[in-house]
Chains A and B, each alone.
Chain A
C-alpha cells in the first residue's frame, strides 16, 4: 500500500503543472481569443511550426531511409568515414554550430527561411535516424529482399516495395522523434529566423513574455503553452510504444 501511496504522490507532483496549465488556460476562454490574435496571429505561427515539422519529418525519413539502406546493404568506399562523421553530430554541441549555420544559410539564400530551418533539423536528427534505420534494414531477413530480386524487381523497387514496408516501425519511431524535436525546438528558430511572420510557435509564445507593453498576459501565455503542448502529449500517448522502442534500440547504443 505504501508503494502505491508513494507513486501516487509523485504522480500528482509530475502531473500537477500540466493540469494547472490546462485549467488556467481554460478558466477564461477569452485567453484563446487573445492568443489567436497575438502578433501575426497564432494561426500563422502554428502553420509555420506545422510546416517546419512536416518538412523535417519528411526530410529525415527520406534521407535516413535511403541512407540506412545504403549502410545496411551495400559496401562502398568512404562508408565508415561517412557513418562516423554522421554520428559525430552527436558529439558537437548543438549551440556552437548554429552561428556558422546562420551565416552559411545566408549565403545559400536560406536565412530566415523555414526550409533552411527544417534542413538544420534534419541534420540534427540524422545520427539517431540513420542509426535506427540502418539497424532496421539489417534486421530484415535477407531472404525477403533476395526473393524479390529473383522475381525480377530492380534494386529500387525491392527497396520501395519490399524493404520499406518491412521497416515501417523504425520509420514511425524516427518520424516521431523528428516531429517532437522540430515542433518544440526553441534555440534554432530563435537564431535562424528573424522576421516575426516566419516565427514558429515556441519563439512566438516566448516573445509574449518579452515584448508585451506593461504586464505579461499570463492567461494568454498559458493558452499558448497548451497550443504547443497538446499535440505532443496526444502524439506521445498514442505512439508511446514507438517512442520507448527508440530508446531501447537507438538512443542507447549510439
Chain B
C-alpha cells in the first residue's frame, strides 16, 4: 500500500534510458489523447469562441459582423439584466444561508452510527437523486391549488381559509422556489458535510468530553472549526450554483409573475433564443464567466488559507 500513498508512479530503481522514456511519453500521450481532444474541442474552443462572439453582431441565423464593444455596452443598460443581477444576488444570499443551516443540522443529526440512521440519511438524500427538472415539475404540480395536496392540507388544518397563490406573487414565487431548492439540495449538502464530519478523529471528541466540555462547546469549539474546509467547499458550491440558477425559475415560476423571478442565466437564454441575439448572449456569458471565475478564485484562496 505504500505506493498508493506517494501519489506518483514509482520510477524504476535505475533511471530508464532516454529512448525508453521517450517511448513511454508517446504511449502516455496516446492514452491521454481522447481527454485532450474532448477538452480541446468542447471546452477550450468554445471558451475562445464565446469571447469572439461577444465582439460580433451574431444573429441566430445569418452572417456575423464585428461590432465591438456594442454588445458589452448593451449589457450595462439592459434593465432586465440589471434587475436579474439584483434578484439573483438576493436569491443566492437567502439560499446559501438557509441551505447551509439546514444541511449542517441534518448532518449533525445523522453523523453518529445509531440504529436506523442509515435509513434517515437515505431519506434526506433521496430528493437529490431525482433530477432537478423533475423535482421542479413535481413542485409545480404539488403547489397547484386544485391538483396539489398542500392547499387542502393547510385548509384542513385551519392554517388558511382560501387558496394560497404559491406562484402568484413575487414573494410567494421566491418562497416556493426556495422550498424546492432546499428540499432538493439539503441532502446533497448534508452528504458533503458528513464526509467532513467523519474525517474528524473520534479521539478529539473523547478528549474534549473527558475534559468536561458540553455539547454546545464541542460544537462551537471543535466540530465547526475542524469542519471549516468542508463548510467552505459547500459554500462555494452553493454560491456558484445559485448564481447560475436557471432550471428552478424557468420551470417553476417561468420568471414570473411580472419578471420578478428572472435569473441572470435566464436573461442569457432569452437574448440567445428569443431575441436571436447570440452576440449579446455571449457578452452576458463573458461577464458572468469572468465574475464567477474571479469569485471562485477568491473563495479558493480563502479556503486554502483556512486549511
Interface residues of A (CB under 8 A from B): 3-4, 6-7, 10-11, 13-15, 17-18, 20-21, 24, 62-64, 66-67, 69-79, 82, 85-86, 88-89, 91-97, 99-104, 119-120, 122-123, 126, 130, 138-142, 155, 159, 180, 183-187, 190-191, 202, 205-206, 209-210, 216, 218-219, 221-222, 224-225, 228-229, 232-233, 235-237, 240, 244, 247-248, 251-252
* Given the contacts A11-B123, A103-B49, A76 and B32 also touching, CB distance less than 8 Å: yes
Question: Are B140's CB and A221's CB within 8 A?
Answer: yes
Query: Does B272 lie at the interface of the complex (its beta carbon under 8 Å from any beta carbon of A)?
Result: yes
* Given the contacts A89-B43, A236-B126, A186 and B27 also touching, CB distance less than 8 Å: no
- The A interface, classified by DSSP as helix, strand, loop or mixed, is helix
Question: Are A14's CB and B126's CB within 8 A?
Answer: yes
A14 to chain B, nearest CB (A): 5
B133 to chain A, nearest CB (A): 4
B75 to chain A, nearest CB (A): 13
Question: Are A91's CB and B293's CB within 8 A?
Answer: yes
How far is B306's CA from A111's CA once the two chains are assembled, in angstroms?
A: 45
Question: Are A236's CB and B129's CB within 8 A?
Answer: yes
Identify A100's interface contact among B109, B119, B282, B292, CB under 8 A.
B282
Query: Does B132 lie at the interface of the complex (its beta carbon under 8 Å from any beta carbon of A)?
Result: yes
Task: Please give me the residue from chain B that is nearest to A69 by CB atom.
Answer: B31
Question: Are B35's CB and A126's CB within 8 A?
Answer: yes
Identify B126's interface contact among A18, A74, A142, A190, CB under 8 A.
A18
Question: Are A97's CB and B43's CB within 8 A?
Answer: yes
B44 to chain A, nearest CB (A): 7
Task: Please give me the residue from chain A that is nearest to B139 by CB atom.
Answer: A17
Question: Are B53's CB and A100's CB within 8 A?
Answer: yes
How far is B45's CA from A140's CA once the two chains are assembled, in angstroms?
A: 35
Chain B residues with CB below 8 A from A228, complex form: 130-131, 133-134
Instruction: Pick the 8 closest A-B CB pairs, nearest first.
Output: A184-B131, A74-B28, A70-B31, A236-B129, A76-B28, A67-B35, A186-B133, A70-B32
Identify B42's interface contact among A74, A101, A202, A236, CB under 8 A.
A101
Chain A residues with CB below 8 A from B67, complex form: none
How far is B269's CA from A219's CA once the two chains are assembled, in angstroms?
A: 29
Question: Are B32's CB and A232's CB within 8 A?
Answer: no
Chain A residues with CB below 8 A from B27, complex form: 74, 155
Chain B residues with CB below 8 A from A247, complex form: 191-192, 195
Question: Are B1's CB and A96's CB within 8 A?
Answer: no
Identify B39's interface contact among A20, A123, A187, CB under 8 A.
A123
B187 to chain A, nearest CB (A): 7
